[in-house]
Amino acid sequence: MSRLVDPHGGTLVDRFVPADEVEGLRHRAESLPQITLDAREQADLELIATGAASPLVGFLGAEDYRSVLERLRLADGTVWPLPFTLAVDDATRDALRGASEAALGDSNGRVWGVLRIEDVYTRDPLVESRAVYGTEDPAHPGVAYLLGRPRTLVGGTVRVLPLPELPFARYRLTPRELRREIAARGWQRVAGFQTRNPIHRAHEHLTKVALEVTDGLVLHPLVGETKGDDVPASARFQAYEALVAGYYPKDRTILAAFPAAMRYAGPREALFHALARKNYGITHLLVGRDHAGVGKYYGPFDAHAMFDRFTPAELGVTPIKLDAAFFCKACGSLASTRTCPHDAADRLELSGTRVREILRSGGDLPREFTRVEVAEVLRAHYAASAPAAAPSPVSVPVSVPVSVSEPIQPVASATAPPALFPVFLKLSGRRVVVVGAGPVAASKIKSVLDTGAQVTVIAPEVAPELERPDLTLVRRAFRPADLDGAWLVVAAAPPEVNREVRAAAEQRGVFVNAVDNPETCSAYAGGVLTRGGVTVAVSSNGEAPALAGLLREALETVLPEDLERWLVEARAQRKKWRAEGVPMKKRRPLLLQALNELYAETPQ
C-alpha cells in the first residue's frame, strides 16, 4: 500500500449524513425554507460533500469570502483561490429571516441537503469579477454568470443527503474512492490531467511525458457545467474511453470524472484544480498553456506564475508546467516550443472551428493531430448537433403558393420604414435577459440558448417547460436594474411591461427584441437559416414574422447542401487575395470561378 498525499487542510471532509439519519433530515427539510441551487451551486455542494473541496465544510461566510478575494486564502490562512458561494434572491432572503436552517434543493424540487445559516451578506459582482476573473467585461462567461445572479449570499455549514443518480456514475469516483484505487495500485507519485476538451494527440503527448516521471496517471476530465460551445461531456467521455482502451497502459492509467463546474477563472482556477486534485490523492497536476482560460483574458503562462506565489509546503501538490504541444512537420514528431527549433509555419495546428468544418464536410483530420477513434466520436457529435439537412437544391424560381380572389397589387407607402442595419450578435457566454415566461417566451429562449448565451428569465410565474438547470429563473416582477450587464433583452411580457423594459434598455444601451410589438423593438429577430457555417436571416421589420418564416423556408430549398465546402474555398481564396493584393472589385468574379472549378473537378 502507498502513502498518499495529505488532503488540503489536513483532513478529508465528509459532509454526508450518516445512513441512520437520512430519513430524519429529509423529513426536517420539508418544514424549512428552501434555497434553490443552480447548476454551479449543485456542483460546488457535491465537491464540498465528498471532500473534493476540503477544507470547506459549507458555503463561505463574509470573512472567508473577502479573504479569498483579497488574499487567495481562507480567513485562517489556508490557501484557497475561488469563492464557493450560495446566492439567494430577495424573496428567499426575506423567507430566511429568523431561520437557523434552510433546505437546499434543485429546480425540480429535489432536496439535496440542509444548510445551517451562519452568515447573510451582500456581494458586489463587479468587485468579485475583478478579483476572480481580472475583468468586468460581461463577455467573460464568469462575469456574465455573476451579473445574472442575486447579490445576497448565505454562508454556513452543510449536511448532505445521498446524491441522486448522476451522469457518469461509473467514473464519478469520490476522493475516498479514487484514493483507495491509487493505494491499491501502490502509486506514490500520481499525475493528474484536468481537461474540459477532447484529448487530441498533443494532449496525449503531454500526459505521456508526465507518465514517464510518475507512477501513474489519472485522466480527470471535468463533467460539470461548461460554456454552451464547449464539446459536451457525453461526447468527450466517449473519446476518453476510446483513448484509454487503445493507447494508454491500463495498469498505470485511471479514467475518472471531476464533477466541478467551469468558472473560466484562469490562474485562480488552475490553482483550485491542483488543490482539489490533491484531495483525490494526486501529487502532480499538469498545468498547460492558458489553463482554465477563455478568450484573451489571461496571459499564456499566468497560471504557471500563480503557483510561484505560494510555498511548496502551503500547496502540497506539484504543478507540472507545460507549454502547448503540436506536431512539427520538420521534426516529424510531436514537440513543444521547448524542444522544437522550427517556426510556426512547420506546425500542424487546427482551431476548434476548423476541426468542426473538416468533420462536418466529411473530411478526415490528420492522424498527426488526433486519433481516428477520437475524430469519429466528434464527427458523430457534430452530425447530431447540426441543423437538419434541407431538401436538394432545385434550379427553378422559388414560389410561395397563396390563394386569393383578386390579384395582389403593390401598395405604395408614404412613410416607408427606415432601412435596417443588419448585425449578427455573438451571444456565447454573454448575458441575455428574458422578461416574461409564457409559451411565447419559451420559444424565444430555446433559440437564445442555442447561441450559448447565459439566460436570465424574469417573471412572477414561470411556464413548467422553463424549469431547467441551464436557465436562471427570477420569480418576481421586472425591475430596471435587471438589465445591468445585459447585452440583449427579450420582452415577452404584457405591452405595458414591455414598454417599461424598452425605457430601461434605452437608458443602458441594451438591444430590445419585443414579441409581437415592433414599436418597442430596437432589434428584430428574423427568420434564421444556418447551413455549412453560413447564416442567413430574413426580417420584415417585425411587421410580418410569419412572412419572414415563409421566406426562410423557401431559402432552405435553394441553398446548396454543400455550402460548407463553398465557405472553406472562400476562406482559402480570401487568404490568397490578401497575400497577392487583389482589388475588392475583382474578388467576386474570381470567387465564382473558383466555386465553379470545385464542381468541374468532381467526377461525374
**Axis-axis angle for helices 563-580, 587-600 (nearest 10):** 130
SS3 564: helix
Rounded Cα distance, 478 and 475, in Å: 9
**E strand or H helix at 448, and its extent?**
helix 439-450
DSSP 360-405: HTT----TTTS-HHHHHHHHHHHHHHSPPPPPPP-SS--------S
Distances in whole angstroms, Cα of residue 596 to Cα of each of 27, 37, 114, 403 = 72, 56, 67, 39
- Report whether 431 contacts 511 (CB < 8 A): no
C-alpha cell belonging to residue 460: 412572477
Distance in angstroms (rounded) separating the CA atoms of residues 339 and 324: 11
How far apart are alpha carbons 595 and 540 in whole angstroms? 31
Pairwise CA distance, residues 41 & 39, whole Å:
6
Bridge-partner residues for 222, per DSSP? 258
What's the rounded Cα separation, in Å, for the pair 346 and 182? 40
Active-site residue identified among 15, 123, 179, 196? 196
- Helix, coil or strand: residue 543: coil
196 is catalytic: yes
User: Residue 444, CB half-sphere, CA atoms under 13 Å: how many?
Assistant: 27
Residue reference for cell 460546488: 44
Amino acid type, 470: D
- Grid cell of 35 as nine digits: 434555497
Asked if 117 and 99 count as a contact pair (C-beta separation under 8 A), the reply is yes
Closest CA to 275 of 315, 304, 313: 315
Alpha carbon 335 to chain centroid, angstroms: 29
- Cα–Cα distance for residue pair 32/99, rounded to 1 Å: 8
The CA R_g of the chain, rounded to the nearest whole Å, is 27
- Helix pair angle (233-247, 372-385), 10° resolution: 160
For residue 254, the cross-strand partners are 218
C-alpha cell at 601: 473537378
**Helical pair 125-133 and 62-71, crossing angle rounded to 10 deg:** 40
Q: Is 596 a catalytic residue?
A: no
Separation CA 268–CA 274 (nearest Å): 10
Count CB neighbours of 477 within 10 A: 13
The whole-angstrom separation of Cα 518 and Cα 495 is 11
Report how far Cα 235 is from the mean position of its chain's Cα atoms: 14
Instruction: Name the active-site residue from 26, 130, 197, 479.
Output: 197
Q: In DSSP terms, which residues pair with 318 in a beta bridge?
A: 284
Q: Could you list the active site residues?
A: 196-197
